[in-house]
Chain A
């Protein structure tokens, strides 16, 4: 140590002594420059911005913690990752991620952060931290709503656990930078932003394997200039422009495609659109890329789900994408990609790409898949989806309703048809029903009569238990076997009651029918499955006679029988689909047909017939494809449920709620 440091390479500053140490640099070997911001395709990125970038062929979201340029103008960014719930699914345990939630990486270990080529950046992400942490400037409602993603928990890459609290620093960066930006943060508190830069420089050197690089402020040559950018999405006014030498490398977008990073040709097409100056444009591209990336099959649909239709601006694009879809989709193929017709805006691009995606994905795809993929979390977006759903369904509805057998009277086909002539009919029907009821049941004692009259006089009455009549006396036990149901359906004695409280027991439905119609019936709740409505419970009800069923059907159609919470009961004659259309169960394969039959027989008798699949098999790969499809359909159903809820709830609010005393 006493020797003066005159070595030619790797000088090492010695700080322990307090007197001046003789020191000089050796041969300069490469250099690293750190920056606080840069502008790429018209969008300004600053340190601690959240960006979406491509990493290993997938899109990832991360926080910029370092922006650097090494020697030969190689531009790099280092990001701390945000994990998508799916990426850490196996460590989530009972943690239920929110819809737009991501998890900030923390701790020490693999997956915390990465150095990526700057060109890997796809666009900016609107990320809000909703943590109640004191250090976190609380977001406004509006910010929360418009954000692409939010986070309030971290994922420790070391212990692989989701944590609710934030450590004091992540990857050597003060945690404050990961929280929402303070509005006071905007102008020239250079000290704060310079500090991490200084502190981190040596670390960079190590990572990038460039020894002897400069770490002094003078060699960083940061030139600060504050520019006013009206279109910048956030309020950062801190801006450092590129070194005089570098802008030529970065400026034009076309340059990017020459870089080795942008992999496939669809990317080339993508990066060609005229450079536009707004951050929103980025979003469009972002979703485009995701859409075209389908060749990387595995997580593709997932990505689309996560990256489309979230930005407020995207809404428009999504809308256009959907409406243009069918007209454009037909003739488009991948070949169209490298030579896209010259169009003026990125928006058009998006339309096309979503078209291509459609052709790729499936020939038969209806607007549903489209909906699910584009169903963002934006309320307005939902509306769009809604329109499409309802448009799509207007046909369906007509078809289905037509298919229903005609109820006994002409006046009561579709609800719509009923309306005009309704006033006239109601009187008649009420009169008729009251008549039939009273006449049928006069013999049954004063209590019954009272109930009947009460229910007719539009007051709530409590459903009492049916007197001890046992329906099994006239119905055999196995009425619910499919053949029996078909029989009952053919005879017309079967009705489906809908919009019941899903948790009703069959006997409760029997009671209701008895109470209201004085019909002794056998009911069965339709057991719900993963695809059932959570709102409307269904029950199969078998009447003694067709006339009784007709009568109930008629009254339910014309009148409105409501339960205490305001839900009207719907009656329907549903044709139970005939069996025998059966081809085979979709999804089980066997190779040798001759052998397979025998095998299957054996398998059925054999004991060991189930297994987890190993991840190095083709079986596993195909199983994952099924999982993808499951996930996709799950999103369809969720979107449908949500949309339907939005249609029902406002109506339900108009209904008076009467709770039983």
Chain B
């Protein structure tokens, strides 16, 4: 196995991984063109690929892979976005970015020269029981992970609601103030207390 063309392809793929950014906490409404616009500010976007979520509802935050022109650009963006919250198509929840890993790609080529071997274990072998335990552990771990994810989503929901309340309260305050100026109450009060009010 492992012809030279395969190796070339694989190396090219590894290069691609290096210049790609993994971005998540994206709103489901974000489209490829939105992503391109957002990241073209920092450099040249070669491609955008959304990572499909099979096991979560559609409104869940999405993730995408953004391939930049070169690894340096990618690293720069990750650094920048780590320092300042970056918003795409909505606020105040920022998107999050990190370096991409090759397991994140859909169209990954075979690793050249990798031979895969496998066998069925004989139930009489001692390893059989170990493998059984391993299988159970893998199942359990998957369940654990999904519970953590569930918990995380719940926390996110909570924070969003909390922030919404804060924002509504602020908004109401501003409306109240604005109304006071609009119906002239503020000016009247100003005259009454002989205070100069700036034109509102």
Which residues of B lie under 8 Å from residue A460 when comparing CB positions?
Answer: 117-119
Question: Is the C-beta of B136 less than 8 angstroms from some C-beta in chain A?
Answer: yes
Task: Give a binary string over B119-140; 1 marks a CB under 8 Å from any A CB, 0 the rest.
Answer: 1111101111011111111111
With A589-B91, A589-B92, A629-B155: A536-B138 Cβ-Cβ less than 8 Å: yes
Known contacts A560-B135, A610-B41; decide if A660 and B116 are in contact (CB<8 Å).
yes
Interface residues of A in 602-643 (CB under 8 A from B): 603-604, 607-613, 615, 618-627, 629-630, 632-633, 636-637, 640
Question: B25 interface residue, CB < 8 Å from A?
Answer: yes
Most chain B CB within a 10 A radius of its CB, from A366, A463, A622, A655: A622
Complex CA gap A610/B141 in Å reads 37
Partner-binding segment picked from A137-145, A451-459, A545-553: A451-459
Is there contact, CB below 8 Å, between A591 and B171? yes
Q: Are B84 and A574 in contact (CB under 8 A)?
A: no
A254 contacts B by Cβ under 8 Å: no
Enumerate chain B residues within 8 angstroms of A568, measured Cβ to Cβ.
121, 131-132, 134-135, 138
| CB pair B158 A364 closer than 8 Å | yes
A541 to chain B, nearest CB (A): 13
**Contact A396 B111, beta carbon cutoff 8 Å:** no
A515 touches B108 (CB 8 A): no
A441 within 8 A of B: no
Which of A14-22, A188-196, A268-276, A578-586 forms contacts with chain B?
A: A578-586
- Does B56 belong to the interface (CB within 8 Å)? yes
| Chain B residues, CB < 8 A from A415 | 132, 135-136, 139
Q: Which residues of B contact A430 (CB under 8 A)?
A: 120, 123
Q: Which residues of B contact A609 (CB under 8 A)?
A: 34, 37-38, 88-89
Closest chain A residue, CB of each to CB of B59: A582
Q: Is the CB of B103 within 8 A of A502?
A: yes
Q: Is A567 an interface residue (CB 8 A)?
A: yes
Choose the segment among A43-51, A121-129, A213-221, A525-533 that binds chain B (4+ C-beta atoms closer than 8 Å): A525-533
Q: Tell me the count of chain A residues lying within 8 A, CB to CB, of chain B.
A: 125
Contact (Cβ within 8 A) A426 B37 = no
**A residues near B125, Cβ cutoff 8 Å:** 458
CB distance from A513 to the nearest CB of B (A): 11
Contact of B58 with A580 in the complex, beta carbons under 8 Å: yes
Interface residues of A in 440-482 (CB under 8 A from B): 454-456, 458-463, 480, 482
> A640 CA to B146 CA in the complex, in Å?
11
Contact of A648 among B86, B137, B159 (CB under 8 A): B137
Contacts of A564 in B (CB 8 A): 115-118
Asked whether, in the complex, the Cβ of A585 is within 8 Å of the Cβ of B27, the reply is yes
B87 interface contact, C-beta 8 A: yes
- In the complex the two chains form, what is the Cα distance from A652 to B137 in whole Å? 11
Which of A111-119, A305-313, A504-512 lies at the interface?
A: A504-512
Residue from B94, B116, B170 within 8 A of A563 (CB atoms): B116
Instruction: From A505, A607, A637, name the one whose CB has the most chain B CB atoms within 10 angstroms.
Output: A505
Q: Is the CB of B118 within 8 A of A644?
A: no
Q: Chain B residues with Cβ under 8 A from A482's Cβ? A: 52, 54
Which B residues from 5 to 62 make CB contacts under 8 A with A? 22, 24-25, 27-29, 31, 34, 37-38, 41, 51-59, 61
**Chain A residues with CB under 8 A of B118:** 455, 460-461, 463, 512, 515-516, 561-564, 569
A159 within 8 A of B: no
Q: Give the residue of A570, A584, A588 whose beta carbon is less than 8 angstroms from that of B139.
A: A570
- The answer to whether A98 has its CB under 8 Å from any CB of chain B is no
Are B54 and A612 in touch, CB under 8 angstroms? no
Task: Give chain A residues whose Cβ lies under 8 Å from the Cβ of B27.
Answer: 585, 587-588
Find residues 144-191 in chain B having any chain A CB closer than 8 Å to their own CB: 144-149, 151-160, 163-164, 166-168, 170-171
Q: Which residues of chain B are near A591, meaning CB under 8 Å?
A: 167-168, 171
Q: Quick one: closest A residue to B82, CB to CB?
A: A89
Given A536-B138, A623-B93, A623-B94, are A618 and B110 neighbors across the interface (CB < 8 Å)? no
Question: Do B85 and A620 have beta carbons less than 8 Å apart?
Answer: yes
**Residues in A neighbouring B141, C-beta threshold 8 A:** 533, 536, 644, 647-648
Chain B residues with Cβ below 8 Å from A622 are 91-93, 163, 166
Give the docked Cα–Cα distance between A533 and B127 (Å): 24
Q: Assess the A527–B127 pair: CB atoms within 8 A.
A: no
Tell me if A393 is interfacial: C-beta within 8 Å of chain B: yes
Given the contacts A426-B123, A559-B120, A589-B167, A625 and B103 also touching, CB distance less than 8 Å: no
B63 interfacial by beta-carbon distance below 8 Å: yes
**Which listed residue (A401, A498, A507, A567) contacts B110, Cβ 8 A?**
A507
Contact of B127 among A392, A611, A621, A655 (CB under 8 A): A655
B145, A588: Cβ atoms under 8 Å? no
Assembled-state Cα–Cα distance A501/B115 (Å): 12
Q: Is B98 an interface residue (CB 8 A)?
A: yes
Within the complex, which residue of A368, A569, A592 is in contact with B148, where a contact is CB–CB below 8 Å?
A368
Bound together, the chains give a CA A636 to CA B156 distance in angstroms of 14
Chain A residue contacts of B109, Cβ below 8 A: 505
Contact assessment for A503 and B92 in the assembled complex, using a CB-CB cutoff below 8 Å: no
How distant is A658 from chain B, measured CB to nearest CB, in Å? 7
B31 proximity list for chain A (CB < 8 A): 604
**Cross-chain contact A90 with B83 (CB below 8 angstroms):** yes
Q: What is the bound-complex CA distance between A516 and B118, given in angstroms?
A: 8
Whether the pair A576, B55 counts as a contact (CB closer than 8 A) is yes
A577 vs B190: C-alpha distance when bound (angstroms): 61
Interchain CA distance A426-B120 in the complex, whole Å: 12
Known: A505-B111, A525-B108. A499 touches B93 (CB 8 A): no
Assess whether A432 is interfacial by the CB under 8 Å rule: no
- Roughly how many angstroms separate A618 CA and B166 CA in the complex, as a whole number? 10
Chain B residues in 8 Å Cβ range of A396:
143-144, 147
A sample of 22 cross-chain residue pairs with beta-carbon separation below 8 angstroms, ordered by A number, consists of: A368-B151, A393-B144, A396-B147, A482-B54, A503-B102, A505-B108, A516-B118, A516-B120, A536-B142, A562-B118, A574-B55, A585-B59, A586-B160, A589-B91, A589-B163, A603-B90, A604-B34, A612-B87, A618-B167, A626-B85, A629-B155, A636-B148
* Given A396-B144, A589-B91, 15 additional A-B pairs, CB 8 A: A463-B118, A512-B116, A560-B120, A567-B134, A583-B59, A584-B59, A585-B27, A587-B25, A587-B159, A608-B37, A610-B37, A619-B87, A619-B91, A627-B94, A632-B155
Top-7 shortest CB links A-B:
A587-B93, A588-B90, A623-B85, A622-B92, A582-B59, A610-B38, A660-B115
